[in-house]
């Protein structure tokens, strides 16, 4: 009997992302079945329903994708699914809530590559600032930069307290060192830029976080990377198609990476990870750390 591939797609929100369904089908999954409004406490039972119904050969053609909006909840779901496995009844699990893991991985991989091209150096001990840092993409971006050895700071436009809470939780849970900072005023923003080596923009679409006056203070920034594809650009003068284009408005003529350049690597990364689930002979468990490894090969 030849088993078709089935991807069970878990999410805590009312609807599954059409983007993720499209990606999964195009990566080779025959059937993508949504399970919406799931709590972490339900994941174990749903996982065991999936692994025990197809036999040892069928489980090799079965997988679990975890979406949603909350990166920490998605990691809890991944952990719950992993604990529910009973080898040899074990399937691959891939968490990518709101595409945050693969998007952030693409951002860091692209910026890391351009920084190496410009300076010949890695991110070790470099100062990374992430605007929009309390959102899912921003938090993940900061954690990945920290894993790569950078001194990462997440910035909140609302308050330092909000940034500190997010940074503290990420640091404690994922064993990385991430700091928090406020970016509510021009003075706060320019102070952060004056001390940065790389800057990421992960704020809401259509919101410009950094204008030309801000950029004039970026005296040591070598790379800017932004994921806002909706006008106005999140970082002034950084085009959505830019991929290592010098930004004339910055003191160091920093290299800019735009949203569509990041998006291309994000797309390739998510597709590769979905295919990995199908092709692997042994179960794989995939989150933001594995996403960065894949994104580096695509940047």
Task: Note the pLDDT tens digit of each residue in 138-191.
Answer: 999 999 999 999 999 999 999 999 999 999 999 999 999 999 999 999 999 999
Q: Which of 277, 224, 279, 268 is nearest to 105 (CA)?
A: 268
Contact 269, 290 (CB under 8 A): no
Contact 71, 138 (CB under 8 A): no
Residue 1 reports pLDDT greater than 70: no
Per the DSSP assignment, residues forming a β-bridge with 64 are 8, 93
Is 6-95's fold the same as 100-262's? Answer: yes
The H or E element that residue 291 is part of is helix 288-298
Residue in the block written with tokens 């408005």: 249
Helices (H), 53-159: 55-59, 71-83, 100-119, 136-147
| Confidence category of residue 24, pLDDT binned at 50, 70, 90 | very high
Count each helix (H run) and each strand (E run) in the chain, helices first: 11, 12
- Domain parsing of the chain, residue ranges: 6-95, 100-262
**Domain 100-262: CATH superfamily, name plus number:** NAD(P)-binding Rossmann-like Domain (3.40.50.720)
Q: What is the pLDDT of residues 223-244, one digit of tens each?
A: 999 999 999 999 999 999 999 9
* Strand spans (E) along 165-207: 178-182, 198-201
Does this model's pTM top 0.75?
yes
Mean pLDDT, all residues of the chain: 96
The H or E element that residue 47 is part of is helix 40-51
Contact 198, 221 (CB under 8 A): yes
CA–centroid distance for 45 within its chain: 28
The architecture in CATH of the region 6-95 reads 3-Layer(aba) Sandwich (3.40)
| Confidence category of residue 59, pLDDT binned at 50, 70, 90 | confident
Pair of tokens at residue 202: 């992960």
In this prediction, residue 261 carries a pLDDT of 97
208: left (phi > 0), else alpha (psi -120 to 50), else beta?
beta
Pair of tokens at residue 123: 């991110």
Backbone angles phi, psi at 7, to 5 degrees: -110, 115
């Amino acid at each position: 009997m030849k088993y078709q591939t089935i991807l069970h797609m878990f999410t805590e929100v009312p609807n599954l992302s059409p983007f993720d369904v499209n990606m999964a089908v195009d990566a080779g999954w025959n059937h993508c079945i949504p399970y919406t409004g799931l709590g972490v406490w339900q994941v174990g039972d749903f996982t065991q329903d999936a692994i025990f119904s197809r036999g040892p050969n069928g489980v090799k053609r079965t997988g679990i994708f975890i979406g949603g909006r909350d990166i920490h909840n998605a990691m809890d779901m991944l952990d719950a699914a992993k604990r529910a496995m009973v080898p040899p009844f074990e399937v691959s699990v891939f968490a990518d809530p709101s595409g945050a893991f693969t998007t952030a991985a693409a951002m860091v991989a692209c910026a890391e590559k351009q920084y190496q091209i410009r300076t010949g150096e890695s991110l070790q001990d470099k100062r990374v600032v992430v605007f929009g840092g309390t959102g899912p993409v921003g938090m993940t971006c900061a954690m990945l930069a920290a894993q790569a050895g950078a001194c990462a700071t997440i910035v909140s436009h609302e308050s330092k307290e909000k940034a500190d809470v997010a940074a503290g939780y990420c640091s404690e849970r994922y064993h990385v060192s991430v700091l928090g900072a406020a970016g509510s005023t021009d003075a706060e923003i320019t102070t952060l830029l004056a001390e940065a080596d790389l800057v990421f923009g992960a704020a809401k679409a259509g919101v410009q976080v950094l204008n030309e006056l801000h950029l004039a203070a970026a005296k040591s920034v070598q790379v800017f990377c932004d994921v806002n594809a909706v006008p106005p650009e999140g970082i002034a003068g950084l085009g959505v198609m830019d991929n290592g284009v010098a930004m004339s408005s910055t003191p160091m003529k920093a290299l800019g990476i735009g949203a569509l350049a990041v998006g291309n690597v994000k797309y390739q990364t998510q597709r590769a990870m979905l295919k990995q689930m199908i092709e692997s002979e042994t179960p794989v468990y995939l989150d933001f750390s594995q996403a960065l490894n894949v994104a580096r090969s695509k940047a």
